[in-house]
Amino acid sequence: MRTYNDLCGIARALDVIGERWALLVVRELMLGPKRFSDLRKGLPGVGPDMLAARLRDLEAAGVVARRKLEPPANARVYELTDKGRALRPALLELGRWGSSLPPRPDAAFSPDSAVLALATLFDPEADPRLEATFALRLDGQMFTARVAGGEIDVSRGSPPEPAATISASPRTLAAVLWHGCEPAAAERAGELEIDGDRRAVRRFLGLFPLSA
């Protein structure tokens, strides 16, 4: 493994997660385990050999673990260890800093990165009284966003009784949240679907101002 050979904690961290694609692999696993093929879908720019190499490096460093699902699934998945999950605050702060930089128009935007962007840009002062749970269906994948007590919790999977379900592609969600697309216009175009408490959804969509 390449190393900066520097005693500083930042340098030692970069020895583990500073290689190309390593931190994005961590991002894709932050909301739960994934199969190799699912990781490739979330990271369309990475080749299979490079992804396999990064996973080996992260496993060796104790950041990622591999396990076999019980039958009938009979598949191997990768998941973060406690050491890997401890990167969440740093990952969200890095996302908050990066959100102020101009994006490339053709850049990929996976469902997991869209959901983590909600946690990154959540502003508890935008609507401090909102307490509700929402289901997010992004490119067919289900996620949960719970807002309560001035905090947001995001996770993979469907909540049992959401106030509303928001269905869209990650790009459409980003357009509505941060790029001036009106929800009604996205609905008319068939790119956004809201099922449930529409007023709660309007309040929810106002919780994520883009960083200055």
Identify the CATH number of the domain in which residue 124 sits: 3.30.1050.10
Which pLDDT score, from 0 to 100, does residue 174 have?
95
What share of the chain in percent tops pLDDT 70? 99
What DSSP state is assigned to residue 34? B
CATH number of residue 17's parent domain: 1.10.10.10
What pTM did the predictor assign? Answer: 0.90
Residue 70 has pLDDT above 80, yes or no: no
Asked if residues 174 and 181 have their Cβ atoms less than 8 Å apart, the reply is no
Cα–Cα distance, 205 to 173 (Å, whole number):
9
Residues making up the chain, counted from first to last: 212
Residue 212 has pLDDT above 70, yes or no: no
* 26-44 pLDDT tens trace: 999 999 999 999 999 999 9
Which pLDDT score, from 0 to 100, does residue 210 have?
83
Cα–Cα distance, 8 to 119 (Å, whole number):
29
Domain extent at residue 57: 9-86
Give the count of domains, the chain: 2
- Local structure of 204: helix, strand or coil: helix
Same domain, 70 and 131: no
Average pLDDT, the chain: 94
What DSSP state is assigned to residue 18? -
Run of H or E residues at 145 = strand 141-148
What share of the chain in percent tops pLDDT 90? 87
Same domain, 130 and 64: no
Mean pLDDT along residues 7-13: 94
Same domain, 124 and 56: no
Which pLDDT score, from 0 to 100, does residue 104 have?
83
Asked if residues 51 and 21 have their Cβ atoms less than 8 Å apart, the reply is yes
Question: How many degrees, rounded to 5, is the angle at CA 84 between CA 51 and CA 18?
Answer: 55
Six token digits for residue 197: 């408490």
Q: In the chain, where does DSSP find H-type helix? A: 9-17, 22-29, 36-42, 48-60, 82-85, 88-98, 111-121, 170-178, 183-188, 198-205
Same domain, 130 and 79: no
Whether 102 maps to a domain, the answer reads no
Q: Helices then strands (H, E): number in the chain? A: 10, 7
Cα–Cα distance, 56 to 60 (Å, whole number):
6
Same domain, 191 and 119: yes
Which pLDDT score, from 0 to 100, does residue 1 have?
67
